[in-house]
């Protein structure tokens, strides 16, 4: 059974992190809708806006909102560092007992936040938004997203929920754990899954972008997919070993067959030519296996270099601290 969470009503209960990259067309509306939802909750909250090097009027508009509403905080990046880094900076600065990360374009409806808070109050540490439908997105985007989430799931050992973006609520202890993981080329939702803790979904319908266009062109999408794969799977490194073993086996089998045929005197000129090819492939296979062994060491070095914490503790009982 989940235990009811103990919440301190006198300090910030919830921080809402909003990454912004050239979002002048949506920032006003997003602030309005977020504020309406959060005020309805009657808890101390803050909105942490992270301006990820916007080159439009996002910064001026965000400053104006901060001047009028002290519950809104703003972090301005020196340049565009990317969405995943922006949400990390927002979490670094968040002071709440829980943190919600939400896109600025209202594709993640703020009206889902109360349901997330409800689950958090009942003891869940990670409440992630699961998209049951996606509105107003191109067939290409939906198709690639679907393929991506499923391929990623097959390639990795970590159970990363499918059809889930960064729209989620995490408890402070999950945030603290997440911030111990300082690896670059971050795939935040993957890291959150890797952390563990008590997790539950809330389902929502992904909305149409309120205004403006996507800030994730194909290039950034591919970069995110690459980061996800390379941060959570060593399978690409193991490709060399598999191919090498296959080549060695196939060429040895052929050489044995050719030897028998040769002894029986029925190995023709073509057969002889393939012997030369088989020998070449045998050595190629041996080279690939050697590269594969190097890759095994590289995988371990990469694992150490990322310096992820060895383990994370959800809670401790009967310790006097
Ligand atoms: N974003 C960001 N930095 C970037 C790209 C995007 O902070 O380099 C923000 C963007 O302002 C939005 C969120 O990340 O709040 C998601 O981006 P977008 O809605 O454009 O992506 P899509 O929903 O099309 O995948
Ligand atoms: Mg969007």
> pLDDT, tens digit, for every residue of 195-221?
999 999 999 999 999 999 999 998 999
28 and 122 assigned to the same domain: yes
Residue 22 has pLDDT above 90, yes or no: yes
Looking at the fold, whether 96 and 224 belong to one and the same domain comes out as yes
Number of domains in the chain: 2
Distance 86 CA to ligand 1 centre (A): 10
The residue contributing the CA closest to ligand 1 atom 19 is 214
Residue 311 lies in a domain: no
In a domain, 316, yes or no: no
DSSP 24: T
Is residue 270 in a domain?
yes
Q: How far apart are CA 175 and CA 160, in angstroms?
A: 17
For Cα atoms 201, 51, 171, give the angle at the middle one, nearest 5 degrees.
Answer: 30
Backbone phi and psi for residue 42, each to the nearest 5 degrees, phi listed first: 55, 45
Among 31-35, 172-176, 195-199, 270-274, which is the least confidently predicted range? 270-274
Say if ligand 1 is within 6 A of residue 145 CB. Answer: no
* 107 Cα nearest atom in ligand 1: 23
User: Does some domain include residue 28?
Assistant: yes
* Alpha-carbon gap, residue 296 to 302, rounded angstroms: 10
Which of 233, 257, 287 represents a domain boundary (last residue)?
233
- For residue 78, being part of any structural domain is answered with yes
Residue 205, token pair as written in the block: 């319908």
CA distance 60 to 317: 49
- The rounded distance, in Å, linking the Cα atoms of 51 and 66 is 13
pLDDT band at 163 (very low <50, low <70, confident <90, very high): confident
Task: Judge whether 182 lies within some domain.
Answer: yes
Give me the torsion for CA of 282, 285, 286, 290, rounded to 10°. 170
For the Cβ of 215 lying below 6 angstroms from any atom of ligand 1, the answer is yes
Q: Is residue 201 part of a domain?
A: yes
Residue 137 Cβ < 6 Å to ligand 1 = no
User: Across the chain, what does the average pLDDT equal?
Assistant: 93
49 pLDDT more than 70: yes
Do 217 and 122 reside in the same domain of the chain? yes
Assign 142 a pLDDT band (cuts: 50, 70, 90): confident
Same domain? 242 vs 227:
no
Residues 6 or more apart whose CB falls under 8 angstroms from that of 119 comprise 127, 169, 200, 202
Range of the domain at 289: 235-306
Portion of the chain with pLDDT greater than 90, in percent:
79
Q: Is the pLDDT of residue 103 over 60?
A: yes
- Rounded to an integer, what distance in angstroms lies between the CA atom of residue 116 and that of residue 167? 10
Per-residue pLDDT at 1 exceeds 80: no
Residue 173 CA to ligand 1 centre (angstroms): 26
């Amino acid at each position: 059974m989940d235990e009811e969470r103990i919440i301190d009503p006198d300090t910030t209960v919830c921080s809402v992190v909003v990454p912004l990259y050239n979002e002048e067309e949506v920032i006003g509306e997003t602030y309005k809708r977020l504020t309406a939802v959060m005020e309805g909750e009657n808890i101390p909250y803050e909105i942490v806006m992270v301006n990820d090097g916007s080159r439009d009027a996002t910064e001026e508009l965000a400053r104006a909102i901060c001047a009028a509403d002290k519950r809104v905080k703003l972090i301005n990046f020196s340049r565009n560092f990317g969405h995943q880094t922006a949400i990390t900076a927002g979490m670094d600065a968040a002071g709440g007992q829980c943190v919600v990360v939400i896109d600025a374009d209202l594709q993640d409806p703020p009206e889902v936040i109360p349901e997330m808070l409800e689950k958090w109050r009942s003891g869940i540490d990670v409440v992630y938004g699961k998209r049951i439908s996606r509105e107003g997105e191109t067939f290409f985007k939906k198709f690639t997203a679907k393929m991506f989430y499923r391929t990623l799931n097959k390639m990795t050992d970590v159970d990363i929920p499918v059809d889930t973006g960064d729209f989620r609520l995490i408890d402070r202890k999950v945030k603290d754990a997440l911030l111990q993981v300082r690896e670059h080329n971050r795939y935040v939702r993957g890291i959150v899954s890797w952390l563990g803790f008590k997790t539950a979904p809330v389902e929502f319908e992904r909305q149409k972008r309120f205004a403006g266009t996507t800030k994730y062109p194909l290039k950034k999408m591919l970069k995110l997919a690459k980061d996800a794969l390379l941060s959570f799977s060593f399978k690409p490194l193991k490709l060399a070993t598999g191919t090498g073993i296959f080549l060695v086996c196939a060429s040895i089998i052929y050489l044995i067959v050719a030897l028998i045929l040769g002894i029986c005197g029925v190995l023709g000129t073509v057969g002889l030519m393939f012997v030369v090819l088989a020998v070449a492939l045998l050595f190629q296979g041996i080279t690939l296996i050697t590269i594969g062994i190097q890759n095994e060491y590289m995988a371990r070095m990469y694992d150490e270099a990322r310096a992820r914490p060895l383990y994370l503790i959800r809670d401790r009982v009967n310790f006097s601290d």
